[in-house]
Amino acid sequence: MITGVWVPLVTPFKDGVIDFKSLRRLIEHYIAKGVNGFLPLGTTGEVPTLDDDEIDAVVRETVATVHSRLPILVGAGGNATRKVAKAVERMNHFEINGFVSVCPYYNKPTQDGLKQHFAAIADATDLPIAIYNIPYRTGINLTNDTLLELAEISNIVGVKDSSGSIDQSLDLLARRPSGFSVLTGEDHMFFTMLCNGAQGGVLAASHIATEVFVDISKLAAANDYQAALVCWRRLQRIVPMLFQEANPMPVKHCLWRQGLIDSPECRLPLSSVSDQLAGKLDLLLADL
């Protein structure tokens, strides 16, 4: 099962191109911090701004740097099923452990369309797939009934749950089949979801104060929720600040200030954090 703290890696840029030196530094840093896996090419990695050659280069560099020390799930999503399936087929030859695929955005398919979409992607690979449900970004909600039907497909093994509804998330945790992983993508819900049986989280905020996220995951797995709560309270001020402006701009600012990446640069339409937020983040890092 997919468990623990997964880092949806940012894609470092410098002077308009991918900064692979900083990417390697990040990977080594997070391996040392004890994370459970990596998700390159997610939305936190600004994948819509990358061309196919850059996408392949990020996967190659991530695989080479990780060197089988941790599992890697690669982001592969979109709103044209044939294109997503072809992208998955193209990346099948990389030594990765599977894919995370977001619900189609903008065109608002029916539940039947969603079911056929993910079934086609699953048919394009023998590798495991986790579905990413984030309706407030995509405009469509994958219902638990549809998700549980998809879970019957052998290589659809989990979900990154960002439904935005605690009722839907708790219902999913109560009904999910044995061996099916539920990881939250809602950073502010990490502790709550662990307490209710989630296997972990794919968390942009885990770029910062990573060891605290890892401690919470380990303590929850050991059923020591009181100690996990003490750790979580250390993060309750940090997490909201990292999402005051568009992700991953605040995270990249913090990583740059910490010397983990050489530039806070994002690609348009994302720019950089405001001066006001930058000042708050600098104070936060000083406290950490």
Query: For residue 71, what pLDDT is reported?
Result: 98
Query: For residue 1, what pLDDT is reported?
Result: 84
| HEC assignment per residue over 137-176 | HHCCCCCHHHHHHHCCCCCEEEEEECCCCHHHHHHHHHHC
Q: Which of 83, 105, 106, 160 is catalytic?
A: 160
Task: Kindly state whether residue 14 falls inside one of the protein's structural domains.
Answer: yes
Predicted confidence (pLDDT) at residue 287 exceeds the cutoff of 90: no
**Can you tell me the mean pLDDT for 228-245?**
96
Task: Kindly state whether residue 272 falls inside one of the protein's structural domains.
Answer: no
Query: For residue 250, what pLDDT is reported?
Result: 98
Q: Which band of pLDDT confidence, cut at 50, 70 and 90, is reported for residue 191? A: very high
**Can you tell me the mean pLDDT for 80-96?**
96
CATH number at 40 reads 3.20.20.70
**Can you tell me the mean pLDDT for 111-124?**
98
Q: What are the distances in angstroms from CA 222 to CA 174, 217, 218, 233?
A: 20, 9, 6, 18
Task: Kindly state whether residue 237 falls inside one of the protein's structural domains.
Answer: no
Task: Kindly state whether residue 164 falls inside one of the protein's structural domains.
Answer: yes
pLDDT digits over 23-76, tens only? 999 999 999 999 999 999 999 999 999 999 999 999 999 999 999 999 999 999
Task: Kindly state whether residue 277 falls inside one of the protein's structural domains.
Answer: no
Bridge partners (DSSP) of residue 37 are 6
Task: Answer yes or no: are the C-beta atoms of 19 and 263 closer than 8 Å.
Answer: yes
The verdict on whether 106 is a catalytic residue reads no
Query: For residue 32, what pLDDT is reported?
Result: 98
Exposure on the CB side of residue 139, measured as CA atoms within 13 A = 9
Average pLDDT in the chain: 97
Bridge partners (DSSP) of residue 181 are 158
Q: Omega into 135 within 30° of 0, i.e. cis?
A: no
**Can you tell me the mean pLDDT for 204-216?**
98
Predicted confidence (pLDDT) at residue 199 exceeds the cutoff of 90: yes
Task: Kindly state whether residue 269 falls inside one of the protein's structural domains.
Answer: no
- As for how many domains the chain has, the answer is 1
Give the list of residues 6+ apart from residue 39 with CB closer than 8 angstroms, or none: 6, 7, 8, 9, 45, 72, 73, 74, 75, 100, 202
Range of the domain at 129: 4-223
CA nearest to 129, candidates 144, 107, 147, 110 = 147
Task: Kindly state whether residue 190 falls inside one of the protein's structural domains.
Answer: yes
Q: Which band of pLDDT confidence, cut at 50, 70 and 90, is reported for residue 151? A: very high
Q: Could you tell me where the beta strands, DSSP code E, fall in the chain?
A: 4-7, 13-14, 17-18, 37-38, 73-75, 98-102, 129-133, 156-161, 181-184, 200-202
Q: Which of 30, 115, 132, 252 is catalytic?
A: 132
Task: Answer yes or no: are the C-beta atoms of 94 and 57 closer than 8 Å.
Answer: no
Three-class SS state of 184? strand
Give the list of residues 6+ apart from residue 25 with CB closer than 8 angstroms, or none: 260, 261
Query: For residue 288, what pLDDT is reported?
Result: 81
The verdict on whether 160 is a catalytic residue reads yes
**Can you tell me the mean pLDDT for 116-127?**
98
Query: For residue 254, what pLDDT is reported?
Result: 98
Task: Kindly state whether residue 186 falls inside one of the protein's structural domains.
Answer: yes
**Can you tell me the mean pLDDT for 89-114?**
96
pLDDT digits over 1-11, tens only? 899 999 999 99
How many residues can be counted in the chain?
A: 288
Q: What is the pTM of this model?
A: 0.96
